[in-house]
Amino acid sequence: MSMKRVANFCIDNTVKDTALIANSSIRGFVMVSNVESEGKISAPMVQVRLQHVTCMEDAALFITLSAAIDLIIDAYLEAVSYNSLQYAKSLEIAAIGKDVWVFDIDETLLSMAPFFAAKGWGSEPYEKATWIEWQEEGPQPALPASLNLYKELQQLGFNLILITGHLNLAPSEVDTPATIYKSQKRKELEDEGYKIWGSSGDQWSDLMGFSQAKRSFKLPNLMYYIA
């Protein structure tokens, strides 16, 4: 763990058996984890209730792993962004706007973490209507590593095109599998004379199928999978 990335944990057992929690389902101690790291969008907070663990060591291990995973995902995103940029810099592109880099939006350019945080990180049932409602409230925070890549690619002269399946689909497209829908959109670009050098997405369905980019870059997503 670098000096810039610091994880702090504390155990708060002062709430034990107080009147404050007399009517609460929380019994015993509550542990809180705050993680600060370079480029973070939001510091995750983890609370563990006593009934979820059999001993203090279990809770400490749970929180430590949660923080470690959070830091690993950040490092992963930065590594993907770095590798994408190194590849982009190795290319010679023309100045006519036909050299394209395709981005997905959700969990690629923008983070849906605040939504999942509000929904117990997957512990509550997924409701599509709530998800759409939340997205339309926008704006969602950018993923810092992806935002940096986006700006760098712009500077290099790439035409940046966003292909997303999350909003504004035509009725005929709603039931189209993501892999097919995104391939069709890339095919349309190809047919119009665009050359797709790179593609970034958090789902394999963003990247696979036909009319694939010359190189594809897969970002991590621990929350959901779209076929």
Q: Which is nearer to Mg ion, 99 or 104 (CB)?
A: 104
Half-sphere exposure of residue 96, counting CA atoms within 13 Å on the CB side? 5
Measured from the CB of residue 133, what is the shortest distance to Mg ion in angstroms?
18
Q: Cα dihedral angle (47, 53, 55, 59), rounded to 10 degrees?
A: -30
Measured from the CB of residue 222, what is the shortest distance to Mg ion in angstroms?
13
Q: Which is nearer to Mg ion, 7 or 196 (CB)?
A: 196
- 203, two tokens: 């789902």
- Strand pairing partners for 142? 110
- 121, two tokens: 């990180």
Q: Which is nearer to Mg ion, 78 or 106 (CB)?
A: 106
Q: Which residue is nearest to Mg ion (CB)?
A: 106
Measured from the CB of residue 101, what is the shortest distance to Mg ion in angstroms?
15
DSSP 56-120: HHHHHHHHHHHHHHHHHHHHHHHHHHHHHHHHHHT----SSS-EEEEE--BTTTB--HHHHHHTT
Measured from the CB of residue 121, what is the shortest distance to Mg ion in angstroms?
17
Those residues whose C-beta lies under 8 Å from the C-beta of residue 157, and which sit 6 or more positions away, are 93, 95, 99
Q: Which is nearer to Mg ion, 85 or 165 (CB)?
A: 165
Measured from the CB of residue 201, what is the shortest distance to Mg ion in angstroms?
6
Q: Tell me, what DSSP letter sits at residue 7?
A: E
* CA 192, 189, 80, 114 torsion-angle sign: positive
Measured from the CB of residue 109, what is the shortest distance to Mg ion in angstroms?
9
Q: Which is nearer to Mg ion, 144 or 157 (CB)?
A: 144
Q: Which residues bind Mg ion (CB under 5 A)?
A: 104, 106-108, 202
Q: Which is nearer to Mg ion, 30 or 107 (CB)?
A: 107
